[in-house]
Amino acid sequence: MLETRSCGILCHISSLPSSFGIGDLGPEAYRFVDFLSKSGQRWWQILPINPTEPGLANSPYSSFSAFAGNPLFISPELLVKEGFLDKNDIVGLTLIPGDKVDYEAAAAVREALVNKAYARHCSRWLRSRSFENFCVRESSWLNDFSLFVVMKRHFHGVSWSDWAVDLRDRDPGALDDFSAGHAISIDREKFAQYLFFRQWAALGAYCSRKDVGLIGDIPIYVNYDSADVWVHPDLFKLDGDHRQTFVAGVPPDYFSKDGQRWGNPVYDWDRLRQIDFSWWVHRVRHNLALFDAVRVDHFRGFVKCWEIPAKEKTAIRGAWRDVPGEEIFKTLQRHFPKLPIIAEDLGIITKDVDALKEKFGFPGMCVLMFAFHNEYKESRDFPQNYKPGSVVYTGTHDNNTICGWYQNDLSDIEKKNILEYFGREIDPSEINWVMIEEAMKSVANIAIIPLQDLLGLGGEARMNRPSTVKGNWLWRCVPGVLGKDLSRRLANITIKSNR
């Protein structure tokens, strides 16, 4: 499908309208798919769907599991429709739909309803073939994940590295004893995952019927305080007490004199090579069962990674380390002959990164918003320089919206270059459509438009501001804005651009 000239919309699940604090997998998700289908869109791209944490600002790129689904996306309405709850169970829990996510309220609602569904139906559903099949099918991650969540709660949220040593080090006897004493709580976590993936599968099937493909997102790194690192400490550069020896980041550059110290553990690629990269094979297989294609974040990290000694406060004293990217993707191709991967190759990219991407035929990303810096006609983001196999975005979740950028962020040189390129002054109320049409008519195989750009929203609708921790991941579409006129205009541009 990535080879087909097509287009789609970027909108995270959390950004959908709903009456329960956050967008979810319920009725509005289906309405959104209907809108995409009627508008001629072949793709719905989303951000990572793994669990998020309030302490990490609910960033979808910071999760305690690379495999679990986010329970906040469970639809209360579908729990009623599926018979897990009665209609009266959700009365009084609805919130006034707004343009911001209320994570605290959304979490309280989901916890109460999942607990009620579990208590009411556990005897029937936990013995059902559907639930049993789910637990068997997902046992490679589900058992340890559920145990991890319950242990985190038991130890009041402290990192797994500070648990009792026998539990930290996964002594089989200690794990068995803990599991026996917390069996109901562990089952409840499995049940929540069952509900999530049951609803996800139904939505995915509906997308398929409407000829809308799903593009997921795989962050290259995982969190240190995660089930993944607790279960597989040998796959990361840790010391004898399972503490990090190195952390990931990027070096100092024009934009940051100290670089960026992300804090994620770095992989022990030698150890991963010894097990034939089986953890990555498992991770990719899991995602390809959920999505039709995946965007791989920080693709350059499969060529070289910036390793920072864990004791360092900044990224300055890090060093580049080689990563066996060619071996990794050859291994993945043996398991998945057609790897539907979009390489996130933004920023300063070296020739070896391009070579790896091109060797495996992965489309890279272009961002139209970046096209007008300085000598813009030389830019890789300039439309005339796109490679046919690429994916063009008007902007991404890390940028301002097109309207916010045009009204507030343009440098003098960008203003000059935009005027020169388009040959006219562009009215701020039309800049989003001008940029959408420019992306759509380009030679890029796929054009993806953030929903905020389609709606012509300003900087107040921005999803994320990198290097900040407050006010991110909150934007939500309000009900009723995806109307027939908008759909018709988008469909006309899609047809005109032969997508």
Active site positions, annotated:
297, 344, 398
Cα(320)–Cα(306) distance, rounded to whole angstroms?
5
Cα angle at 296 between 70 and 375, to 5 degrees? 125
Q: Which of 227, 147, 151 is nearest to 189 (CA)?
A: 147
* Cβ proximity of 7 and 490 under 8 Å: no
- The tokens describing 256, both together, are 């940051």
Indicate left, alpha or beta for 263 from its phi (over 0: left) and psi (-120 to 50: alpha).
left
User: Phi/psi at 312 (nearest 5 deg)?
Assistant: -75, 140
* Cβ proximity of 68 and 49 under 8 Å: no
Residues near 154 by beta carbon (within 8 Å), at least 6 away in sequence: 178, 182
- Name the residue type at position 172: P
CA distances from 494 to 475, 487, 499 (A): 26, 10, 5
* Cβ proximity of 369 and 439 under 8 Å: no
Cα(107)–Cα(102) distance, rounded to whole angstroms?
9
Which ranges of 126-234 would DSSP assign to H, the alpha helix? 129-137, 139-154, 165-168, 172-181, 183-209, 227-231
- Name the residue type at position 357: K
91, 92, 93, 96 alpha-carbon torsion, rounded to 10°: 110
Cα(400)–Cα(207) distance, rounded to whole angstroms?
28
- Name the residue type at position 273: R
Strand partners, 296: 218, 343
